[in-house]
Amino acid sequence: MSMPINYLKAVSWKDVKIKSGFWGDRVRINRNVVLDYQYEQIEKAGCVDNFRRTSGKKGGKFEGFFFNDSDVYKWVEAASYSLGTHSDKKLEEKVNRLIEDIADAQEEDGYLNTYFTLEKKEHFSDLPVKHELYCAGHLIEAAVAHYLATGKTNLLDVATRFVDLICYTFGPGKKQSAPGHEEIELALVKLYHLRREKRYLDTARFFIEKRGKGYAGGDEYRQDHLPFTEQKEIIGHAVRAVYLMSGAADVCRETKDKALMVTLNRLWENMVQKKMYATGGIGSRYEGEAFGKNYELPNDRAYAETCAAIGNIFWNHRMLHLTGDAKYADIMEKVLYNGFLSGISLDGRKYFYQNPLQADKDHRRASWFPCACCPPNVARLLSSLGGYFYSVSGEGVWIHLYGESETAITLDKDRKVTLNQHTNYPWSGEISIKVSSEKETSFTLFLRIPGWCQEAEVLVNGKSMAGDITPSSYLPISRTWEGEDEVQLNIPIPVEFLQTRPHSSNNARLAISRGPMIYCIEAEDHPGIDVFDILLSPDTELTPHFESGLLGEVVVLKGEASVQDLSSWQGKLYRPYRKEEKVKKEPLEITAIPYFAWANRSPGKMLVWVLER
């Protein structure tokens, strides 16, 4: 696979305003509810007190899991992103106090890990298990976000001191090792982008190259079974795997390493074609929170950790910027609307760790977890969501995601352009993009045509553009822009039934999609019916209905299906097959809701893959 010639560069989250609409509502809840709620939770869990105990401000022993520092860092990162787009004095004060607690816990040589300090463990003595470099990575990401949001260097100075110690400790001719939980790799490249210190990039590459040599445990669980460029399939702990892919993609971008690119493409294809749920969720096994074998995608036992969905977004965002290929944006969008967003309740106060595609009434979101990696991960993605919408290249401006938003982009020192999106996407496929420039300027506007799109209409200043519309591609609009121009993209959003590849988990079942959304059937909408007995036909007509008072305003799908009458099976687990003995079917009006919104009402069964009639 040849290396791309023209990389994309993401428009910063600071330069994108998500004003209203689908994502605007969720970003606002994240800002107004989630950040304060999560701060209370990390205080209650003792995560913050661990820093105070380490510095001597408070007595007592270490509390919680050995990686609890990372939850504090992720919260600081989320809060920093929010401060970069919305001024909030109270939030800023919380962040400042927390940074002071973090800084006071740092040791003289720069080392910072409250578990190892309080438990008097030897530094860097258990990289395969104890997450020292994982926590360090989240410190780095928080520090970079805080600096970019505020211009302050207090947390960045803390992180840089620790990173300098890491670079001094590890590398050629030094300590040979690799972390059991990946994260440091991508974080070091973020710091490299900011500080341009080559040793940061070199150390990230070093940790990737040391995989497969037994330093991280030597097993598939930690992606240490083979050197990275020799790995044939994506395997092991799902979060670790996609964090590794993200770090490798970052290093690949900086070094133009063709072997890394070939490997990334090979492992991406394996995941998307054989190991990813229809929701974009990944990691099918509870055991090891891991990828299973090819096509091993059970519904009720789907682990599909929320953190893994977030890592999937990270990886696809990076691959998109390496290649400009819309297939990565398609996956990014699928995960955002489904496998990621299901991880948080509509009110922002409850969370899923696992996101199954079939569940009984007992699987509900929790207000917090002893291992609370997912909630602050959700918060930091929502706070930085604007950074996933737009990119620039030498050719022009790229639009990856559609939603009410505004961005001001500097193409070069003399050319500035403002884009305003107006749309009710994903409920509607009508998207208006106002392109404003102070003076005449020529560039190409690249519009993403989603992979599910069957047809589309594009108008520029009211005039239809001729040409073929290709699903899963970017449509280039090259012209001279002046004043305020309008691009109108109209995409019919079809209701479709999905089927699965033979030999996977859902033969003779159908899933329902509409545009980027996967739908599910929930017991709340079908009183007196066991939703596991519902039957769908490919000929079933499902009609979209906008429900303003339901689940925070969603489009539901309604239509006539049928339900099995299983009364003849009473008291039987098996019986001889008789061709003439057919299961009775009764007509049934069904309602399908977006998958992300399930488990926000009364407890009950849910399923995505419905038996085919």
19 to 22, 385, 391, 419: CA distances (angstroms): 10, 12, 19, 13
333 is known as an active-site residue: no
Cis peptide before 4 (omega within 30 of 0): no
373 is known as an active-site residue: yes
Which residue is catalytic, options 289, 333, 522, 524? 289
Indicate the SS3 state at residue 340: helix
Strands (E), 381-508: 390-392, 396-399, 405-412, 415-423, 430-449, 457-460, 463-464, 473-490, 495-498
Q: Under a CB-based contact definition with an 8 Å cutoff, are residues 475 and 469 in contact? A: yes
Closest CA to 184 of 154, 158, 163: 163
- What tokens appear for 518 in the block? 């996967």
Q: Are strands 554-565 and 509-514 parallel, antiparallel or unpaired?
A: unpaired
Indicate the SS3 state at residue 517: strand
Q: Under a CB-based contact definition with an 8 Å cutoff, are residues 453 and 498 in contact? A: no
Which residue is catalytic, options 167, 373, 374, 520? 373
Q: Under a CB-based contact definition with an 8 Å cutoff, are residues 454 and 468 in contact? A: no
**For residue 273, how many other CB atoms are within 10 A of its CB?**
11
Calpha distance 378→352 (Å, rounded): 10
495 to 210, 327, 394, 535, 553: CA distances (angstroms): 47, 20, 37, 17, 18
Q: What is the CA radius of gyration of the chain?
A: 25
The residues annotated as belonging to the active site are 289, 373
